[in-house]
Chains A and B, each alone.
Chain A
Amino acid sequence: MKENRLDNILQTLDSIPYVKVKEPFSGEVNIQGRVSIQFEGLSEPLEFYVVIYPQYPFRTYDAETIKFINKDYLKYNHVMGDGTVCIHTSHNPNIEKKLLIDFESLKNWIEKYYINIDSDLHYEHLITRESDFKGIITSYMFTDVDYTFNRNQFGFVNLSLLSEGKNGNKPIHNYLTKGFVDEFGKEIVICKWSNIYKELGRPNHGIFFYAEKQPATYNRFAYSNWKEFIDVFTSDFLEFLHQCEKEYIKKKRRGQYVPFYIGYKIPNGEVHWLVATIEIGNFPIEGTKENQIWTSKLLNENIKWATSRNSSYKYFFGRGAFSSKLTEKRILIIGVGAVGSNVARTFVKCGCTKIDLTDYDVKEPKNVCRAEFQFASGRTDKIEEMSNVLSHISPFVNIHTVNQPYFEIMSKALFGKDKSRNELEDFLNSYDLIIDCSTDDDLMFVLDNLSLKSDLINLSITNHAKELVCAFHPNTYDFVSKQYSEILDNDVEDLYNPTGCWSPTFRASYNDISMLVQIALKKINNIYKSDSPKDNFIVKSEINDELNIKIIQY
């Protein structure tokens, strides 16, 4: 079997015209050898050390199990620090075919990056060799700031410990970068997180230096030794570093780590931060005396890079979000039950940042199964619960809870009086979009009679979640009431009416409800994205022999 595998590999390599085996392949577990590649257009043959792992042709841990290595090519794009050429090829379970594909891919890399020296339009962050600090992995998240750093600027970074967890089998400490202060402790700028994260506790701090130019070899590999920063760090900064260490030691923190942020500009103009950990008492500097003056010099020591991540809005929602025409809106969600909580959570997951909530109700255990609530927090106000859930999801969403008694009084008891009507209109007009998920007919009537500049959408669901009714102001009240009374077959007999419960509710599961809500929100997003007319619609789901979902457009 082993021999067969090796034979197979050798025969296949033999069949590729541009590949010559320079050192025979062998090995019990990994099969290794050396090849040279030569084809037209290449001035001289290139040699690679090839390792084929036992998983081959399958990928493992999302990585190829064949490696082409040559440290001489580090300066070319897509070569990793250990000299491995980075190839991504397609899946094939057949070893011969997979070899052909992978060598073809190597040939492509040579043509593209070795011969033509292509630099990708797509920028990749610097490659760092990350290491833990005394067995603890540290990770730092940063976001945008409204501030332009000057070259060689330095000072302190304010951090909060966000969470402690596990990464592999090691503990990980996650830090949030909250803001930057100068060497005298004066605030430079606060990072653009939501308020709750700006005010996060468990404070900590680090040191920063803004280099502007990226500290890298071949524009790809972050420096690995402090000595390499010799032309980057200023003597002022080294002196600052020295003073800091003295202070830390005074505070009896010898042996602990301090995060050290090094900032630079990447081609699209953004600032990126690499973070290293430095040990108090072992800062990579030493004092030397020159012409009677003590100065600090960098030591020849390896850098312990930590993990740093740009988690700014753009990266956080980079993989997909709602249209900015929706996400930039100031939104009020009235009623956060099964429908409203699903709407709120989807909005936050899709990039909305300004969401206010109102609901008078308390979350009970029985609400958890189909709303976006959690059992763990027990019995608590629904808006309180939702604020927590939503803030845990996104560090950019600011949730405010509306004063419910005020809203209830303004909209009901005082309705019809000019002054309070105007007050209610002014309040609602301070939003760009209002989603009424309250299924409160009285409130719907009141809102329908207001003259609103903001958009208002009414969402409700019929029993058994057969239909979702979506209506846009000012066509809400008549449309929705007629749908329920005349058009839709809303079963009001078979409601869920549990023992000891005074308030019967419609029957439907989380799956039933969220499917309808998701379809409706997809359509609403599209309406905003394409500036389509805001016409009412119904999402209808029927199960006869097959599941049948359709949108009925009014």
Chain B
Amino acid sequence: MAINKKEYLQEVLETHKMSHVNSLLDKYRDKRKSIKEALEEHYTDKIYSPLNSGSYAKHTAINTKFDLDVVVPFKKKSFSTLEEMFDDVFDFLNETYGTEATVRKQKVSIGIIFYSDNDGDEISIDIVPGRELNEDQYNEDNKLNLYVHSQYGLLAGKTHLLTNIKAQIEHIKSRDNERKIIRLLKIWKSSNNEDYKSFLMELITIKAFDKDSISGDLCEMLESTMEYIRDNITKDGFTLSDPGNSGNNVADTLESWQKENLSSKMKNMLDRIEDNSDNLKIYFPINPDFKENEDTKSSEGYGVKTGASTFSIPTQNQRFG
């Protein structure tokens, strides 16, 4: 019953594309837009333009589990402390959306989960308030200080986190292969209920590609990345530096036993897939909601009109908005 691993994984990615959930995504975008506008109207010149971040912005989102993230960059003088900023944004969002959504403080963000609509969809948007590190420098250096909500001691005693969201997004832009592997690992994470942080999986995948010259087809790249994780995550001195703040070693967010577990999980997965390629279906399931029938399967690429050549002359006058 052996399957073609590469083709199978391509189908997995295909069935997890965000484009399958466009109408849902539109709802997310509408909510995000209205939240951004509310924030801009309320905070006016205290903030710079809110910025989309998170997996959707990074092109690593999967349609089975996602939210949209918005970073709100505050000016240095807007608040005297990060905590004040965090609490103020929370209060404002809670006042504005408290009747139609659950608004809650999370580690570095404020989560807004709207009550399910008529279609049963629950829209969730995360708002990440950050304050520029240097006065009037945000547009130049993109450096932000985030407040770390104390209930979640990311690193013991730490109350703020320096980051650069733009640098994080840049880090992964134009890395097509890495993004595919990241999405596969996120599919594994979500379908097998693993709670490793996506950010960590992203960084380790990129590091694997940088250090290990990963190549071959989709499955070979996936397996090489998993081997890299298996062999390296538990090593002493293994670091995953946050592209938004090189002083922040994201590998430190895992306890050593968690690293051991991650390594042994990778080992088990690789062993099982080698025993029987059907085991890919256990770890990387197809999203059955968007599985296409064999005969209508999309093998479709860019189309050329029947009888035409690709030589085209565009429309004479065209207006864009």
Contacts and interface: CB of A to CB of B under 8 A. Distances in A.
B282 interface: yes
For this complex, into which size category does the number of interface residues on chain B fall? 10 to 19
A535 interface: yes
A554 B278 contact: no
B261 interface: yes
Contact of A479 (B264, B265, B275, B282): B282
A482 B282 contact: yes
B25 to A, nearest CB: 24
Given A487-B278, A533-B261, A478 B285 contact: yes
B191 interface: yes
A206 interface: no
A493 interface: no
B276 A487 contact: yes
A468 to B, nearest CB: 16
Contact of B278 (A478, A486, A552): A486
B289 to A, nearest CB: 14
Interface residues of A, number: 13
A533 B279 CA distance: 20
A552 B278 CA distance: 14
B282 A487 contact: yes
A478 B191 contact: yes
A377 B211 CA distance: 68
Interface string A527-546: 00000010100000000000
20 contacts: A474-B193, A475-B192, A478-B282, A482-B281, A482-B282, A483-B282, A486-B1, A486-B281, A487-B276, A487-B279, A487-B281, A533-B261, A533-B264, A552-B275, A553-B268, A553-B271, A554-B268, A554-B269, A554-B272, A554-B282
Nearest to A478: B285
Interface in B272-310: 272, 275-276, 278-279, 281-282, 285
Contacts of A552: 272, 275
A486 B277 CA distance: 10
A553 B276 CA distance: 13
A458 to B, nearest CB: 14
A107 B261 CA distance: 54
A292 to B, nearest CB: 80
Contacts of A478: 191, 282, 285
Contacts, number: 33
Nearest to A485: B281
Contacts of B278: 486-487
Interface in A457-503: 474-475, 478-479, 482-483, 486-487
A486 B281 CA distance: 8
B293 to A, nearest CB: 18
A352 B185 CA distance: 39
B268 A535 contact: yes
A242 B285 CA distance: 81
Contacts of A479: 282
Contacts of B279: 487, 554
Contacts of A475: 192-193
Contacts of A483: 282
Contacts of B193: 474-475
Top 6 nearest A-B pairs (CB, nearest first) are A553-B268, A474-B193, A533-B261, A486-B278, A487-B278, A482-B282
B102 to A, nearest CB: 15
Given A475-B192, A478-B191, A552-B272, A533 B282 contact: no
B276 to A, nearest CB: 6
A483 B272 CA distance: 12
Given A486-B278, A487-B281, A487-B282, 7 more contacts: A475-B193, A478-B191, A487-B278, A533-B261, A533-B264, A552-B272, A552-B275
A132 to B, nearest CB: 59
A474 B194 CA distance: 10
A139 to B, nearest CB: 49
A478 B279 CA distance: 12
Interface string A515-533: 0000000000000000001
A533 B285 contact: no
A489 to B, nearest CB: 9
Contacts of B271: 553
Nearest to B192: A475
Interface in B38-92: none
A487 B272 CA distance: 11
Nearest to B258: A533
A486 B269 CA distance: 16
A6 B279 CA distance: 74
Contacts of B269: 554
Interface in B187-243: 191-193
A21 to B, nearest CB: 66
A369 B281 CA distance: 37
A487 B275 CA distance: 10
Contacts of A553: 268, 271
Contacts of B191: 478
A554 B265 CA distance: 7
Contacts of B275: 552
B275 to A, nearest CB: 8
Nearest to B193: A474
| Best-buried of B193, B269, B275, B282 by chain A (most CB within 10 Å) | B282
Given A479-B282, A486-B1, A487-B282, A535 B272 contact: no
A482 B285 CA distance: 10
A16 B272 CA distance: 65
A535 B191 CA distance: 13
A533 B285 CA distance: 21
B282 A535 contact: no
Nearest to B275: A552
Contacts of A533: 261, 264-265
A487 B264 CA distance: 21
A411 B116 CA distance: 23
Contacts of A535: 265, 268
A533 B281 CA distance: 21
Contacts of B276: 487
A36 B212 CA distance: 80
A518 to B, nearest CB: 23
A552 B275 CA distance: 10
Nearest to A487: B278
Contacts of B285: 478, 482
A535 B188 CA distance: 14
A535 B192 CA distance: 10
Nearest to A532: B261
B16 to A, nearest CB: 15
Contacts of A482: 281-282, 285
A533 B275 CA distance: 22
Interface string A144-166: 00000000000000000000000
A60 B268 CA distance: 53
A176 B285 CA distance: 57
A474 B193 CA distance: 7
Nearest to B260: A533
A554 B284 CA distance: 13
A486 B272 CA distance: 13
A237 to B, nearest CB: 59
A418 B199 CA distance: 34
Nearest to B261: A533
Contacts of B281: 482, 486-487
A86 to B, nearest CB: 48
A336 B1 CA distance: 34
A334 B264 CA distance: 31
Interface in B1-49: 1
Nearest to A531: B257
| Best-buried of A475, A482, A487 by chain B (most CB within 10 Å) | A487
